[in-house]
Amino acid sequence: MSTPPTQCEISMTVNGEKKTVHAFPMARLLDVLREHLRLTGVKEGCGEGECGSCSVLMDGNLVNSCLIPILQTQGSNIVTVEGLAQGPQLEKLQQALLDCGGAQCGICTPGILMAARYLLNRKPRPTLEDIREGLSGNLCRCTGYAQICDAVAEASVRENAL
Amino acid sequence: MTSEQIIGKAVPRKEGWDKVTGRAQYIDDITMPGMIYGATVRSSIPRGIIRNITFPPHIPWDEFVIVSASKDIPGKNLITLILDDQPCLADGVVNHPEEPILLLAHSNRYLLRKAVDAVVIEYDPLPAIFTIAESENRAQIIWGTDNIFKTYLVEKGNVDSIWNDAAYIVEGEYTTEAQEQLYIENNGMIAQYDSSHGITVWGSLQCPYYVHKALMMLCNLPEDKVRVVQTETGGAFGGKEEYPSMIAGHAALLAMKSGKPVKIVYDRMEDMTATTKRHPSRTRHRTAVDRNGKILGGEIDFVIDGGAYATLSSVVLSRGTIHAGGPYYWPHIRIRAKAVATNAPPHGAFRGFGAPQSLFAMELHMERIAAAVGISSVEIRKRNFLQPGQTTTTDQVIREPIDLSRLLDRALELSDYQAKKNLFDIHNKTASQKKAIGIAAFLHGAGFTGSGERYLASVVGVEGLPDGRVRVLVSSTEFGQGTKTVLSQIAAETLRLPYEDVEMAQPDTETVPNSGPTVASRTAMVVGKLVQSAARGIMQTLLASGSLNESYSREDFLAACRKYVAEHGELKSWARYEAPPDIFWDDQRYRGEAYAAYAWAVYIAEITLDLATYTVTVDDFVALQEVGKVLHPVLARGQITGGVAQGIGYALYEKVVWNNGRMQNGQMTNYIMPTSADLPPIRVYFEELGNVHGAFGAKGIGELPMDGPAPAIVNAVADAAGVRFNSIPLLPEDIFSVVSAAAEEADHVPQGVR
Ligand code: FES
Ligand code: FES
């Protein structure tokens, strides 16, 4: 067996706060978020980049945190589901997902929310096709996606009505 | 929200806020002080004798907790369920790949993984069997004396008398493959043990009392020393009905041996390869039909592959058997059904529970009958639909005023069926992208089969809280379907309280009664009805106490409840299931009222088949159903769209690749379920007839939408391709092989045989 690698020190901004963690360089961002920072809203569904449950925003891009070694996150800005709502109020997207029935068992929900947030950030008025494409990296076994797509469309309407 | 607006309204999901903020705690989100991790060493072969187990020296084994079958099981080495044939850990022999043999635990998960891989197990392999046919021919007896877990015989009328009168005798054989439940949250449990409290497990599960019973026997502990708590559960679909007892057992044994809390969470591959799937099936039909297309009677032979242990196969078989005749009237019928053993991991509960398999066969067979008689898909169904007053295959009289022809007409209208069919006929003459539209009509029984509910004798409680609000006490679990929301609505409506004044107790065997397993589309109808009567009990107690009068307001109720709880210490009301007096079921002869109520449906799928790539896309989907009162329109629609999506996956995407009884594609990369980009608009419609059995007229809804999509789609694909298909799944390679085989045969067979 090779000697275990030494830990590295990583600083990043997570949900608006500066964080420093010590972890093995190849530790997955997913595990660091969940275990070091106790951000358990980030879920593991497959561990291989297929299900999107572990989706977070990294410097504004949508990434699967199970595929990102912590080494790559030095100095980055990470947003997880816990960073969507500030304070007790839900953000419009979360509220729309709730209203439209887009969260059933809820395990895919954090990832879906991040993918939808990313889509709406880039495209505030997405078409249904945009939404279906934009969410196609996030598996949901419960809903058949219909009510999730409704929710994203509804969130777009509500956000643009600001 | 005022009380009259609760039933039938889209109140917010009870646990919704936690789910959209990421605060909901699933099992893997929970840690405990001193907690270590557990893992399972499994068999690599399908069948054989364990000769030797060695622990190579490069692992520091003294740091590990190790549990084996022979030394570390305080009670019986069993996961008790129906037949008690499945060991918790293989003891000397293995009967399927991935069978648990040893348990290991350590605080370091990475080292644990290495240790699992390091254990060397030597076997004397025994010959194994993997298909229904191999099991039937008994070259190897791997279970009991004949490889048969269970058989049923349903006989109605005298089927032997009809064949001479038949204008047509139509035969067919249909098969379905395994399907993975693929909940997005993998299975997981945490167990903790101390000698004064006994064992406690927390986990992702559907049926707390199944786990409770299994742990009592395995750990040799009395009832009050076993506690099972459901944590937020990230999807289940039947896949967390029976297997969680196994995982809980493993975690419990490790916790008892180590004295520390032990967490076992499967990764995706372990979950997919080792836990249950939908039973593969084979259905043979032989049907006598008169010249007008009326069914005179027939024989159905239904077989499911149960895998290596009996687990729930007998019950899955039962539901499949009773649904095998579809929503049609059979004057004479004989259904022979059996569940057989193979050396695959046990197949188990999955939404629909046997019915999707036998209904798939029925709905394909109807097309074959229509073709033989020379009438349309619509006409053949209308001529044979069950009518009120007629009897099902088990002689149950249909008492509901269901009009299936009208339901079908409405679905045809919603899907624009006839116009599309005409259009496609023209289009398909020239296009290589063939379009077609297919129908499935079906029914789904709500609640346990036959005397099941009577045996379960479920109990539900409602309690008044010190602040005057109420809490519902059930072991019925939430895993996305909306159990918490719907049962709260029922309690609120019954008590004329706002929805917000009702809370749901966490399913915890220490505090909630056994309201039965959360399966079989029974929660809204059966448990809901009990919640209604328990809530009435609370109201009656308060009325009788004198501090509340009939025309109370919310504030009056809260005050009266507060006062009662303050004076008496507690206010609780219980309701126990009592079978309606007119329900009769004969378990021996399999006759009578199989279900208290049925949901009815017609689904229509519109597809495109690309003859260059052999891919099928579903372009439009109409799901029309009668499910009694719709308690919550948003949740109900969500149940249907989710079920239809799983049904589309079952038909066109999801294929388990087996190799010597082991799933080879146990990853989301190569076992493909539909994404948001793959699915059509799923248009959901409800008819409401009302039903006397459930709370406020609700029937079951959860499983129904799994039954219809596969046959509707395959009927459409057959029409588009101009060939018959008899099996699912239909991935492009499957379509290709059927189409090319048919083209080859067309050289020998005269045209016109479809
Ligand atoms: S866990 Fe990262 S994509 Fe599935
Ligand atoms: S809500 Fe259950 S997986 Fe999406």
Confidence band for B688, pLDDT divided at 50, 70 and 90: confident
Kindly state whether residues B604 and B655 are assigned to the same domain: yes
H/E run at residue B106: strand B100-106
Kindly state whether residues B233 and B376 are assigned to the same domain: no
**pLDDT number for residue A162:** 66
Q: Give the nearest partner residue to A48 out of B644, B645, B668, using CB atoms.
A: B668
Kindly state whether residues B230 and B330 are assigned to the same domain: no
Model confidence, pTM: 0.96
The domain tally of chain B equals: 3
**pLDDT number for residue B720:** 97
- Atom of ligand 1 lying closest to residue A30 CA: 2
Confidence band for A1, pLDDT divided at 50, 70 and 90: very low
Kindly state whether residues B264 and B334 are assigned to the same domain: no
Check pLDDT > 60 for residue B131: yes
- Out of B123-132, B319-328, B338-347, B512-521, pick the least confident: B512-521
The β-bridge relationship of strands B597-610 and B93-94 is unpaired
Higher pLDDT among residues B752 and B537, named by residue = B537
CB atoms A138 and B236 under 8 Å:
no
Q: Rounded to a whole number, what is the distance in Å from the CA of A122 to chain B's nearest CA?
A: 19
For residues A34 and A31, what is the distance between their CA atoms, to the nearest angstrom? 5
Q: Give the nearest partner residue to B235 out of A100, A138, A141, using CB atoms.
A: A141
Kindly state whether residues B428 and B476 are assigned to the same domain: no
When pLDDT is averaged across residues B640-652 and rounded to a whole number, the result is: 98
Kindly state whether residues B433 and B467 are assigned to the same domain: no
**pLDDT number for residue B697:** 84
Closest residue by CA, ligand 2 atom 3: A140
Check pLDDT > 80 for residue B80: yes
Residue in A54, A108, A139 to alter for ligand 1 test, most ligand atoms within 8 A of Cβ? A54
Kindly state whether residues B483 and B512 are assigned to the same domain: yes
When pLDDT is averaged across residues B271-294 and rounded to a whole number, the result is: 98
**pLDDT number for residue B696:** 83
Kindly state whether residues B441 and B475 are assigned to the same domain: no
Residue to mutate among A107, A147, A150, A154, with most B CBs inside 10 A, is A107
User: What single letter denotes the amino acid at residue B313?
Assistant: S
The residue of chain A nearest to residue B674, with distances taken between CA atoms, is A139
When pLDDT is averaged across residues B209-232 and rounded to a whole number, the result is: 98
Kindly state whether residues B288 and B410 are assigned to the same domain: yes
**pLDDT number for residue A4:** 63
Kindly state whether residues B362 and B483 are assigned to the same domain: no
User: What single letter denotes the amino acid at residue B132?
Assistant: I
Share the mean pLDDT of chain B.
95
The helix/strand/coil state of B546 is coil
**pLDDT number for residue B753:** 41
Q: Give the nearest partner residue to B638 out of A1, A90, A143, using CB atoms.
A: A143
The residue of chain A nearest to residue B233, with distances taken between CA atoms, is A105
**pLDDT number for residue A101:** 97
Confidence band for B579, pLDDT divided at 50, 70 and 90: confident
For residue B155, the tally of other CB atoms under 10 A from its CB is: 17
C-alpha B323 to ligand 1 mean position (Å): 38
Residues of A in contact with B25 (CB under 8 A): 40
Q: Which CATH number fits domain A92-160: 1.10.150.120, 3.30.360.10, 2.40.30.10, 3.30.565.10?
A: 1.10.150.120
**pLDDT number for residue B748:** 67
Kindly state whether residues B712 and B608 are assigned to the same domain: yes
Kindly state whether residues B401 and B437 are assigned to the same domain: yes
- Atom of ligand 2 lying closest to residue B19 CA: 1
In-domain check, residue B136: no
- Atom of ligand 2 lying closest to residue B184 CA: 3
For residues B712 and A117, what is the distance between their CA atoms, to the nearest angstrom? 36
CATH number, domain containing residue B257: 3.90.1170.50
Q: Is B550 left (phi over 0), alpha (psi -120 to 50) or beta?
A: alpha
Q: DSSP state, B213? A: H
Q: What is the CATH number of domain A8-83?
A: 3.10.20.30
**pLDDT number for residue B450:** 82
**What pLDDT digit, counting tens, does each position of A94-113 carry?**
999 999 999 999 999 999 99
Residues of B in contact with A100 (CB under 8 A): 634
Share the mean pLDDT of chain A.
95
The helix/strand/coil state of B208 is helix
In-domain check, residue B464: yes
**pLDDT number for residue A111:** 98
**pLDDT number for residue B577:** 93
C-alpha B684 to ligand 2 mean position (Å): 19
Residue in A46, A114, A140 to alter for ligand 2 test, most ligand atoms within 8 A of Cβ? A140
**pLDDT number for residue B749:** 53
- Atom of ligand 2 lying closest to residue A102 CA: 1
**What pLDDT digit, counting tens, does each position of B256-269 carry?**
999 999 999 999 99
Q: DSSP state, A83? A: G
**pLDDT number for residue B3:** 44
When pLDDT is averaged across residues B674-679 and rounded to a whole number, the result is: 97
Of B545, B576, B607, at which residue does a domain stop? Answer: B576
| Closest alpha carbon to B233 in B247, B213, B219, B215 | B247
For residues B504 and B485, what is the distance between their CA atoms, to the nearest angstrom? 9
CATH number, domain containing residue B412: 3.30.365.10
Q: For ligand 2, is residue A144 a contact (CB within 6 Å)?
A: no
**What pLDDT digit, counting tens, does each position of B449-494 carry?**
888 888 899 999 999 999 999 999 999 999 999 999 999 999 999 9
Residues of B in contact with A41 (CB under 8 A): 21-23
The domain segmentation of chain A, as residue ranges, is: 8-83, 92-160
Confidence band for B73, pLDDT divided at 50, 70 and 90: very high
**What pLDDT digit, counting tens, does each position of B22-57 carry?**
999 999 999 999 999 999 999 999 999 999 999 999
CB atoms B29 and A40 under 8 Å:
yes
CB atoms A103 and B183 under 8 Å:
no
Q: Rounded to a whole number, what is the distance in Å from the CA of A49 to chain B's nearest CA?
A: 9
Confidence band for A5, pLDDT divided at 50, 70 and 90: confident
Check pLDDT > 90 for residue B309: yes
When pLDDT is averaged across residues B602-627 and rounded to a whole number, the result is: 97
Residue A74 burial (10 A CB sphere; 0-12, 13-18, 19+): exposed
Report residue B726: phi and psi, to 5°. Answer: -120, 5
CB atoms B22 and A81 under 8 Å:
yes
**pLDDT number for residue A90:** 94
The residue of chain B nearest to residue A139, with distances taken between CA atoms, is B675
Ligand approaching nearest to the C-alpha of B267: 1
C-alpha A63 to ligand 1 mean position (Å): 10
Give the residues surrounding ligand 1 with Cβ less than 6 Å away.
A 44-47, 49-54, 64, 66
Q: Report residue B739 CA to chain centroid gap.
A: 32
Residue in B184, B485, B634, B675 to alter for ligand 2 test, most ligand atoms within 8 A of Cβ? B184
**What pLDDT digit, counting tens, does each position of B136-173 carry?**
999 999 999 999 999 999 999 999 999 999 999 999 99
Check pLDDT > 70 for residue B1: no
| Closest alpha carbon to A147 in B632, B156, B569 | B632
CB atoms B183 and A135 under 8 Å:
no
Domain with B622, as residue range(s), is 281-449+590-744
Of B576, B599, B628, at which residue does a domain stop? Answer: B576
In-domain check, residue B566: yes
